[in-house]
Chain A
């Protein structure tokens, strides 16, 4: 199956290269090598594949439209590395990319991979642009080579809480009581602790915090507990399979809170969930990475992805945008030189517009894009719509959920 996909993508790449070839041949500028690091084997392979897809689409687009102009129309050549879902894999691939002479590395996906790989890259002053990894440690280590275009964990949770309050206030404060459901591992526990500390300050009462393991095969007890507590809001922090199970169990048991509000959830912003379980997914809200729905490029990219029979996930636009960021910095640096590229990346400002994320004017401080922010999405009528912030929204929130 994945072999077939590679064939098809390879074909696409070849055809894009074919389109660009006449112009490149005229310019004769040497190709610029760009390292794309994604986990495409192991537990994170789905995310890795969608990340790679985004990077490929960006590179194809740049090459098809004449390459990097400031570098005499140089094409971008992708050097792909499989981080195999662990930090050692990421480090080994960065070493290979360094040996290949890449000008920068984009990707990583998971925080541990990003932490280890960016550190390995820093040995060579090799610019590293994080695509997803939200750990706040990534940009607080003083590594000058590491940049993150998207938001970190602190910003995401803060925004999620602020938006929840705004949403609730706008609807006339229908929600007062909350049940938190979280997976007992990785990020779920941390998120639950944070929510427990912050929600009471914002006028919500946490009725109970329910932990469950990953993987979990049955959510009946959790659902029954929610039914007994009758909260206005359910806030789940779980991975894909567990959240799907929870929402389906709640649907079967006819448990209908006024809202299901997720933060960085593995399923609520995933079209697979929406397609496979449309009733359970309907009106679920999430605060997560998502592409800007108002940009025409977003729709174009989404069509290209769906034409390949694949789902529209946030990994694709984030990687597309990260590659565009590197391309933009290369144009400004004027030469494929690492030190110049680091400087150019750090100096990126609002004039960088080729990304498709719902962010304001780009501004990097210590490698973190200050404009990076999550948005609130809601599943409405089989589609995932942006409901918050208003500037980027393409739908009105349906809250409280009635009936």
Chain B
């Protein structure tokens, strides 16, 4: 990996980082923060789903674990937000390993793997809803104390920088993975698992390492969500909405590419906001556009928007 490879990532980071300096509108900044959180969750999905071909429908399990642990350690055990956030990422990675171990060891692939991950996320949702430590149905509320020492910031712009830093890290990590031995093995597993195995790739180990990375990344998005909105309940943390968001963005933006998830998140949410401001009086119109974009992307190859643009340029 050379400095040249990092250039697009740094350029992207620089452009978004300028936003708080150029735009004073908190509407825009709030939108960017939320998009960054989704992009981070989606980047996690992209490692496993995009590069590894293991389509998970239950990344909420990791998002929720990261979010809940970040919140619970602060609220119930008085821990500082930063170590709590780190612990949330760690536990999400562990949960990823555990789910991966159970699913991959039994050789679950394709839709079976998707269903198992969906089931795990649902089980976590039900458990979080019933348990005392998560606040059960009433949810858990992180006390508002806007102080950088508490991982809370008075300015939305500051939070955007933090979220952007994490997304940039995730982009660099993805690029490193793409260029690494693990990345090559992962793609080999995606393209033909039996062939990869025949060539001596330890398929289980490759998948487990990837799901841990993927889960940790999505868990970090969960922790960010908790610190930003300061409130969680089972449907927010483990709801299907985040599983869907995490897989939609890479699918639209380009699964198995470094920039796919970020691009997808920006396109989908940007489009949604634009539609809302143009035809805001019709409730749900942005969701209609959301659906149409998805249908178009999936119906017409190359099945992602950047691919479509590339093809237009070079017919």
Residues of chain A having any CB pair with chain B under 8 Å: 2-3, 6, 40-42, 45, 82, 86-88, 91-92, 95-96, 98-99, 111-112, 115-116, 119, 122-123, 135, 137, 141, 143, 184-190
Looking across the interface, which residue of chain A has its beta carbon closest to that of B34?
A: A88
Given contacts A99-B27, A184-B130, contact A2 B138 (CB under 8 A): no
| B306 close to chain A: CB less than 8 A | no
CA distance A187 to B129 in the complex (A): 10
Interface size of B in residues (CB-CB distance below 8 Å): 32
Identify the 6 closest CB pairs spanning chains A and B, nearest first: A41-B284, A186-B137, A41-B283, A40-B283, A95-B27, A95-B30
B154 within 8 A of A: yes
Cross-chain contact B138 with A41 (CB below 8 angstroms): no
A41-B287, A92-B31, A95-B27 known; A119 vs B137 contact (CB < 8 Å): no
Do B26 and A141 touch across chains, with their CB atoms under 8 A apart?
no
Cα distance A92–B281 when bound, in Å? Answer: 16
Complex-state Cα separation, A88 to B138, whole angstroms: 17
The reply on B76 being an interface residue by CB < 8 A is no
- Check B141 against A88 for contact (C-beta < 8 Å): no
Who on chain A is nearest to B146 by CB? Answer: A123
Out of B144, B231, B287, name the residue touching A112 (CB < 8 Å): B231
- Is the pair A92, B137 in contact by a Cβ cutoff of 8 Å? no
Q: Which of B34, B136, B236 contacts A189 (CB 8 A)?
A: B136
List residues of chain B with CB within 8 A of the CB of A122.
144
10 extra A-B contacts, CB within 8 A, seeds A91-B229, A99-B25, A186-B129: A41-B287, A95-B27, A112-B139, A112-B231, A123-B154, A137-B138, A141-B143, A141-B144, A189-B136, A190-B137
Contact B137 A185, beta carbon cutoff 8 Å? yes
Q: Once A and B bind, how many residue pairs between them come within 8 Å at the CB atom?
A: 81
Across the interface, A187 reaches (CB within 8 A) one of B137, B154, B235, B284, namely B137
B230 at the interface (CB under 8 A from A): yes
B241 at the interface (CB under 8 A from A): yes
Contact between chains at B30 and A91 (CB < 8 Å): yes
Contacts of B130 in A (CB 8 A): 184, 189
- By a beta-carbon cutoff of 8 Å, the part of chain B in contact with chain A is 25-27, 30-31, 34, 126, 129-130, 136-139, 141, 143-144, 146, 154, 229-231, 233-236, 241, 280-284, 287
A88/B229 in contact, CB under 8 A: yes
Are B136 and A190 within 8 A (Cβ)? yes
Interface pair A119/B144, CB less than 8 Å apart: yes
Asked if A96 and B27 make an inter-chain contact with CB atoms under 8 angstroms apart, the answer reads yes
Cβ contacts under 8 Å, B144 to chain A? 119, 122, 141, 143
Interfacial chain B residues near A112, Cβ < 8 Å? 139, 231, 233, 236
Find out whether the CB atom of A3 lies under 8 angstroms from the CB atom of B282: yes
Shortest Cβ gap from A127 to chain B (Å): 16
Closest to B287 in A: A41
Contact with B231, one of A6, A87, A95 (Cβ below 8 angstroms)? A87
Closest residue of B by beta carbon distance from A99? B27
Chain B contacts for A184, CB-based, 8 A: 126, 129-130
A185 engages B129 (CB within 8 Å):
yes
Which residues of B are found within 8 Å of A82, using beta-carbon distances?
A: 280, 283
**Shortest CB distance B64–A (Å):** 15
Residue of A with least CB distance to B30: A95
Residue of B nearest to A82 (CB): B283
A-B contact pairs, 13 of them (CB 8 A): A2-B283, A6-B282, A86-B236, A92-B31, A95-B27, A111-B138, A112-B139, A116-B229, A185-B234, A186-B129, A186-B137, A186-B233, A186-B235
Output the nearest chain B residue to A153 by Cβ-Cβ distance.
B138
- CB-CB under 8 A from A143, the residues of chain B are 144
Q: In whole angstroms, how far apart are the Cα atoms of A86 and B30 in the complex?
A: 15
| B233 close to A189 (CB less than 8 A) | no
- Could you say which residues of chain B place their CB within 8 Å of the CB of A45? 283
A6 contact set on B, CB distance < 8 A: 281-282
Which residues of B have CB within 8 Å of A40?
A: 283
Residues of B within 8 A of A187 (CB): 137
A340 to B139, CA, bound (A): 33
Shortest CB distance B159–A (Å): 12
Residues of A within 8 A of B284 (CB): 41-42
Beta-carbon contact of B143 and A87 below 8 Å: no
Determine the chain A residues whose CB is within 8 A of the CB of B146 once the complex forms: 123
- Whether B283 and A135, one on each chain, are in contact in the complex, defined by CB atoms closer than 8 angstroms, is no
A2 contact set on B, CB distance < 8 A: 282-283
B234 / chain A contacts, CB cutoff of 8 Å? 185
Q: Which residue of chain B has its CB nearest to the CB of A87?
A: B229
The residue on B at minimum CB distance from A186 is B137
Interface centre among B25, B141, B143 (most CB of A within 10 A): B141
Please give the distance in Å from B154's CB to the nearest CB on chain A: 7
Contact A119 to B230, CB < 8 A, known contacts A98-B26, A189-B129: yes
Q: Which of B154, B236, B280, B283 contacts A87 (CB 8 A)?
A: B236
Task: Give chain B nearest CB distance to A133 CB in angstroms.
Answer: 12
Contact residue among A41, A92, A141 (Cβ-Cβ distance under 8 Å from B30): A92
CB distance from A88 to the nearest CB of B (A): 6
- Residues of B with C-beta under 8 A to A86: 236, 241
Bound Cα distance from A309 to B7, whole angstroms: 61
- Write the nearest CB–CB distance from B233 to chain A, whole angstroms: 6
Shortest distance between the CB of B80 and any CB in chain A (Å): 20
Contacts of A188 in B (CB 8 A): 137
Given the contacts A82-B283, A119-B230, A189-B136, A95 and B26 also touching, CB distance less than 8 Å: yes
In angstroms, Cα B234 to Cα A2, docked, is 30
Contact partners of A88 in chain B: CB under 8 A: 34, 229
Q: Report the minimum CB–CB distance from B22 to chain A (whole Å).
A: 16
Nearest B residue to A113, CB-CB: B231
Could you tell me the distance between the alpha carbons of A40 and B234 in the complex, rounded to whole angstroms? 22
Among A42, A86, A96, A184, residue most surrounded by chain B Cβ atoms (within 10 Å): A96
Expressed in whole angstroms, the Cα–Cα distance for A188 and B126 within the complex equals: 13
